[in-house]
C-alpha cells in the first residue's frame, strides 16, 4: 500500500488551518461588532443592578455548562481512531448531562437567589436553564464539524445566533424588559446556535443523531474528558470566584460594574482565544505525532494573537476615561478604573491562549488539570485579599495572580514541546514594540486633548492616533507580518 505524501498532507492541514482562521476571524470580528453594539445600546436601557442580576445567573450558567458533556467533546476531536459508536455514546452523554444540569439548576434556584440576597434571580435561573438542554444536544454535531475542519459552518452558526440574540435583546430592553432582555439574549443565542449546528452537521453528512451506550467507549472518552472538564471547572472557579465574592461582599451594583468591566476587556480577548483555540486544537490533534510541527504552530499562533491582544487591551486602558462616559454613559463611570486594571491581562492571555490546545492535543490533559489547581490557588489568594478593599482591589488581585503563574505555564509548555522559553517569547516582540509606540502616542494625544475639547472629540482623535501609530510601528518592526497573515488567511483551502 502506498504511503501518503507527508508534505502534501502537511500543506493540506496548513490550508485548512488558514481557512479556519479566516472564518474564525470573520465570525469573531462580526461578533465583536455585534456584542459591542449591543453593549453600547443596552448600557443605556438597563441598569447596573440589572447587569448584576444577570451576572449572578451567568455564574450559574458558566458552572453548569462545565458539567454538560463531561469533557467528551475534546475527546472526540483529539482521538484519531473514531467509529460511529463513539460519536453516539458522546451524544448520549452530552444530552443526558444537559438535561440533568437543567433540573439541578431549577431545583436550587431559590437557595442561589437567597445566597446573593437577590430574589429576582430565581425566575431568571429557571428561564435560562433551557440553555443547558440546548448545549447538551448541540455539542456533538459541532464537535464533528470541527473534527472534519468544517470551520465555515461551525463559525457561521455562532455569528447568526449572535445577530438574532442581539436583535431580541435590544427589542425587549427598549420595551422596558430590564434584566429579561439580557436573559433573552442568552437563551436566543443558545437555541439558534443549536438548531444551526444540527442543520450544518446533517447537511455536511458528518453526523446523524443517535443514542448508544458502550461501557468501554464511554470509559475511554470520559478518561480523557474528565481531566479536561476538571481543568475547566478549576478555570471556572478562577474566573468566577471574583464575581461571587464581589456580589456577596460588595453588593449587586458593585458586581454590575465589575461584570461590565470584565465584559469590556475579557470578552474581546476570549473571542480571540475561541478563534485560535478551536482551530489550533483541531490542527494540533492532527499533528500530535510530530512535536516539532506543533512547536512551530505554537510560535506562529503566538505571533498573531499578540498582534491583536496587545494593542486592543492597551488602547482600551488608555482611552477608558473618555470611552466609558462617551459611549456607555455616566452611570458606568465607576467601572473605568476596573477596566484599566483588567486590561493588564491582555499580554497574559496572548501568551498562554494556546497552552490548553497544545497540552490537550498531546494527550496531557492530566498535566493541564494539575496546572489549573495551582492557578486556582494563587488566584484565590489575590481575590480574597482584594475584596477586602474594593472591586478595583479584586481586579488587581486577578491580574497579579495571573502573572505569578505565567512562568509555570511557560515552563511546562516548553518542556512538552522541547522548546526554549526565549524561542516561545520571541514571536511576541514585534507586537510588544509596536504596542509601546502606540501607547506613547495615544497617551500623549489623550493628555493634550482631554481638557481642550469635548470628550467625544478627544476620543475620536485618540482612537485614530492609536490605529495609525500602531499600523506604522508594526510596519517598522514587522514589515512582512501583515502580508504573511493575508496570504495565509485568504488562501483558498485545498
Q: How far apart are the first and last CA of the chain?
A: 24
Q: What is the DSSP string of 309-346?
A: HHHHHHHHHHHHHHHIIIII-GGGGGGHHHHHHHTTHH
Confidence of residue 255 (pLDDT cuts 50, 70, 90): confident
Helix 130-147 to helix 179-203 angle (10° resolution) is: 40
CB atoms within 10 A of CB 491: 13
Cell of 159: 455569528
Confidence of residue 312 (pLDDT cuts 50, 70, 90): confident
Q: Is the pLDDT of residue 347 over 50?
A: yes
- Tell me if 206 sits within 8 A of 144, measured CB to CB: yes
Spatial neighbors of 232 by CB under 8 A, at least 6 apart, are 66, 71
Cα–Cα distances (Å) from 341 to 54, 336, 397, in that order, read: 23, 9, 10
Q: Is the pLDDT of residue 10 over 80?
A: no
Torsion, Cα of 16, 21, 24, 28 (10° steps): 180
- In tens, the pLDDT along 30-40 reads 766 777 788 78
**Residue located via cell numbers 443547558:** 132
pLDDT at residue number 484: 62
pLDDT at residue number 258: 83
Distance CA 288, CA 436 (A): 36
Distance CA 151, CA 168 (A): 26
Share of the chain above pLDDT 90, in %: 22
pLDDT at residue number 4: 47
- In tens, the pLDDT along 41-69 reads 888 888 888 888 888 888 888 878 877 87
Distance CA 454, CA 225 (A): 54
CB atoms within 10 A of CB 106: 16
Least confident stretch, 82-91, 195-204, 365-374 = 365-374
Q: Is the pLDDT of residue 14 over 90?
A: no
Average of pLDDT values for 372-400? 88
- In tens, the pLDDT along 91-125 reads 998 899 999 999 999 999 999 898 888 888 999 99
Please, what is the average pLDDT of the chain? 81
Closest to 236 measured CA to CA, from 62, 354, 449: 62
Confidence of residue 199 (pLDDT cuts 50, 70, 90): very high
Spatial neighbors of 429 by CB under 8 A, at least 6 apart, are 477
Spatial neighbors of 322 by CB under 8 A, at least 6 apart, are 446, 450, 455, 458, 459, 462
Closest to 350 measured CA to CA, from 304, 395, 317, 319: 304
Q: Is the pLDDT of residue 493 over 60?
A: no
Torsion, Cα of 205, 209, 213, 216 (10° steps): 30
Q: Is the pLDDT of residue 342 over 80?
A: yes
**Residue located via cell numbers 446573593:** 116
Q: Is the pLDDT of residue 397 over 50?
A: yes
CB atoms within 10 A of CB 77: 22
Least confident stretch, 12-26, 160-174, 392-406 = 12-26
Q: 43-65 burial, b if ≥16 CB within 10 A, otherwise e?
A: bebbebbbbbbbbbbbbbbebbb
pLDDT at residue number 63: 79
Average of pLDDT values for 258-285? 65
Least confident stretch, 252-261, 341-350, 398-407 = 252-261
Amino acid at each position: 500500500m502506498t504511503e501518503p505524501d507527508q508534505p502534501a498532507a502537511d500543506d493540506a492541514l496548513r490550508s485548512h488551518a488558514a481557512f479556519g482562521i479566516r472564518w474564525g476571524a470573520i465570525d469573531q470580528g462580526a461578533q465583536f461588532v455585534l456584542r459591542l453594539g449591543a453593549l453600547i445600546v443596552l448600557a443605556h436601557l438597563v441598569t447596573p443592578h440589572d447587569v448584576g442580576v444577570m451576572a449572578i445567573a451567568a455564574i450559574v450558567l458558566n458552572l453548569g455548562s462545565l458539567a454538560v458533556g463531561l469533557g467528551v467533546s475534546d475527546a472526540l476531536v483529539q482521538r484519531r481512531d473514531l467509529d460511529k459508536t463513539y460519536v453516539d455514546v458522546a451524544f448520549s452523554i452530552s444530552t443526558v448531562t444537559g438535561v440533568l444540569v437543567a433540573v439541578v439548576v431549577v431545583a436550587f434556584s431559590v437557595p442561589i437567589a437567597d445566597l446573593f440576597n437577590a430574589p429576582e434571580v430565581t425566575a431568571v435561573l429557571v428561564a435560562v436553564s433551557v440553555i443547558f438542554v440546548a448545549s447538551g444536544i448541540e455539542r456533538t454535531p459541532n464537535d464533528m464539524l470541527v473534527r472534519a475542519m468544517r470551520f465555515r459552518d461551525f463559525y457561521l452558526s455562532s455569528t447568526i445566533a449572535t445577530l438574532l440574540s442581539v436583535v431580541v435583546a435590544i427589542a425587549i430592553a427598549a420595551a422596558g424588559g430590564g434584566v429579561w432582555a439580557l436573559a433573552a439574549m442568552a437563551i436566543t443565542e443558545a437555541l439558534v446556535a443549536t438548531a444551526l449546528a444540527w442543520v450544518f452537521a446533517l447537511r455536511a453528512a458528518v453526523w446523524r443523531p443517535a443514542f448508544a451506550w458502550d461501557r468501554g467507549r464511554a470509559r475511554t472518552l470520559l478518561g480523557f474528558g474528565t481531566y479536561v472538564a476538571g481543568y475547566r471547572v478549576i478555570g471556572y472557579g478562577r474566573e468566577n470566584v471574583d464575581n461571587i465574592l464581589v456580589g456577596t461582599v460588595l453588593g449587586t451594583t458593585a458586581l454590575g460594574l465589575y461584570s461590565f468591566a470584565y465584559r469590556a476587556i475579557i470578552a474581546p480577548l476570549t473571542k480571540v482565544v475561541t478563534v485560535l483555540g478551536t482551530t489550533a486544537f483541531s490542527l494540533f490533534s492532527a499533528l500530535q505525532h510530530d512535536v516539532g510541527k506543533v512547536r512551530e504552530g505554537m510560535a506562529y499562533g503566538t505571533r498573531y494573537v499578540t498582534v491583536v491582544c496587545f494593542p486592543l487591551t492597551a488602547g482600551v486602558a488608555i482611552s477608558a476615561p473618555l470611552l466609558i462616559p462617551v459611549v456607555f454613559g455616566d452611570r458606568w463611570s465607576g467601572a473605568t478604573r476596573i477596566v484599566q486594571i483588567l486590561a493588564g491581562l491582555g499580554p497574559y492571555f496572548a501568551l498562554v491562549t494556546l497552552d490548553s490546545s497544545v497540552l490537550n492535543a498531546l494527550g496531557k490533559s492530566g498535566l493541564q488539570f494539575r496546572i489549573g489547581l495551582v492557578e486556582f490557588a494563587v488566584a484565590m489568594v489575590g481575590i480574597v485579599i482584594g475584596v477586602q478593599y474594593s472591586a478595583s482591589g479584586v481586579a488587581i488581585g486577578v491580574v497579579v495572580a495571573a502573572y505569578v503563574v505565567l512562568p509555570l505555564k511557560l515552563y511546562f509548555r516548553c518542556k512538552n514541546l522541547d522548546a526554549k522559553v526565549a524561542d516561545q517569547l520571541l514571536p511576541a516582540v514585534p507586537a510588544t514594540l509596536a504596542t509601546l509606540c502606540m501607547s506613547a502616542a495615544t497617551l500623549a494625544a489623550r493628555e493634550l486633548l482631554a481638557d481642550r475639547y469635548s470628550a467625544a472629540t478627544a476620543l475620536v482623535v485618540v482612537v485614530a492616533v492609536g490605529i495609525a501609530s500602531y499600523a506604522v510601528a508594526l510596519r517598522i518592526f514587522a514589515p512582512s507580518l501583515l502580508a504573511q497573515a493575508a496570504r495565509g488567511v485568504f488562501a483558498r483551502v485545498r
